[in-house]
Chain A
């Protein structure tokens, strides 16, 4: 199948006066097929959100350099003018953000925040747009949708707000939806509901979904392919069951071992990955993860590991976990 979205060698550098550039995304490439659900996984600061913002072209113009290509249906989004991009955002591709309260405009009613997208991209008049908005709110599970059109964000619960944001994002039936930690700010019980809703909706509308999260549990239930990011690069990519079954990169391995599991034999310790993202080495002449890696060898601090693909799995590691380890 021809991919819907092709991200090729995406690089995002933040420049600051008097300081060297900070490279947040460093040559990331991946494809998304229509209707496919993929995951971008990593700790905060690994570049997953910046990748999403770069695809949406929502990064500030000044002080940021984005290179590479992001093709949606064969059109390079990075080459579009700002106004051409505005025509597509919300219509062909849209995004759901992490914090539903701050992501909704506090001083205008929910209804208008939904209808304005319909008016913009579908040219809908006020009344039909209100009707469509009510239907959308109903579809995402907001009770009494007609009345809720007049509510303000602060009058809704966290879960309801996230549902409203999802309704906004899906209002024009985009073919690509990017969800950036959509459940992080929510209660655990609500998280499952929202994920279930997302799964249903993408199946229903045939949209492709890029799920961005630090939570492997979210990925496990949703994504077909998982990309693990570290220090702005993809360190491992595989089908979900293969990645969970036989993680090869020590970082993926560590992430999986740090999740508490109900089916684990009692007494088995949870293992934390030592250190934090600030201890990275530069990718130019080392493996960024080396200082935190339990399997680091001399090679790791002196040579950049290359991304190698074998059997549908991409791996960037000098000393991977043996396939039989798990």
Chain B
């Protein structure tokens, strides 16, 4: 097992190196060159020249790449041109908000998606199945940000069931421990704060969950259909096992293998979706950092987010691979 983990970890290294090379190339092709892009509005010829020297842009290209790599590895992504603060610290502060949102969205997508997909497969061709399939097709066709506004307009503004934006109501006092508002409330026994934070989470999480939900439903349905037609399910039935046993032990166990891979792939969708959802719900997480970085051309921040986003994605998929090895005995460890 340990050897398998190590081998997979080593396999990730070239991918990450190549990724850094691409981001480096991206930096070099920024409008006006990295220095003027990094300085933004504060760019003057002197400052550009100075930054060029600091960034080592007067050095040969491979030396530049080496320095870039060194900086990236030490977590030095420079300072945001908007706030002047170190980018990494900014990201650290914004991370809990996005993680909270994405985790809830993923939980919603998985908790609803797998049963729905299973149900649709079991009633293949029936009204439940057809409705589910149509639902998933529409689900992926709706622009995420529009759905966010729609939810907000209806459930927050019209019905007033949920707050329209932000992570906490202004009048709620919450002690900051971990940055995860819901968790903080539980830790400090300020349960009102937790509850308030949860009610803020609902609408953005639902908006963010829509596409992953649709994808998980479709994969689960296809996978269950595949397994239902397999010989070993026929064997299970020929043994006279109770329907529940056949379902959980024989059908689901096997059908969930491809689904687990898909769940890993959803992390990418969540990252992208977070950019849009957070903007709609004024969330103040990573997505908001990214959206502002785009509008205000904050390239140091953009560079850091690009690298970290891809890094998270690669690592999550590595985790999925590893868990796959645990669920599926056929994968050699």
Contacts and interface: CB of A to CB of B under 8 A. Distances in A.
B119 to A, nearest CB: 16
A121 B234 CA distance: 18
B240 A87 contact: yes
A135 interface: no
A14 to B, nearest CB: 15
Given A107-B254, A107-B327, A116-B249, A102 B232 contact: yes
A108 B241 CA distance: 15
A245 interface: no
In terms of DSSP, what is the predominant structure of the interface of chain B?
Answer: helix
Interface in A41-81: 56, 58, 62
A305 interface: no
Contacts, number: 83
Contacts of A181: none
B242 A89 contact: no
Interface residues of B, number: 24
A106 B238 contact: no
Contacts of A120: 239-242, 245
Most buried by A among B230, B240, B257: B240
A89 B237 CA distance: 8
B231 A102 contact: yes
B240 A105 contact: no
B243 interface: yes
Interface string A80-91: 000001111111
A105 B232 contact: yes
Interface in B234-265: 234-243, 245, 249-250, 253-254, 257
Contacts of B249: 105, 108, 112, 116
On chain A, which size bracket covers the interface? 20 to 34
Contacts of B329: 106-107, 109, 152, 154
Contacts of B173: none
B41 interface: no
Interface in A95-114: 95, 97, 99, 102-109, 112
A165 interface: yes
Given A62-B125, A154-B330, A169-B238, 19 more contacts: A58-B238, A87-B240, A89-B237, A90-B240, A90-B241, A97-B238, A103-B232, A104-B235, A105-B250, A105-B254, A106-B232, A106-B330, A108-B253, A116-B239, A120-B242, A152-B330, A154-B329, A168-B235, A168-B239
Interface of B: 125, 230-232, 234-243, 245, 249-250, 253-254, 257, 327-330
Interface of A: 56, 58, 62, 85-91, 94-95, 97, 99, 102-109, 112, 116-117, 120-121, 152, 154, 165, 168-169
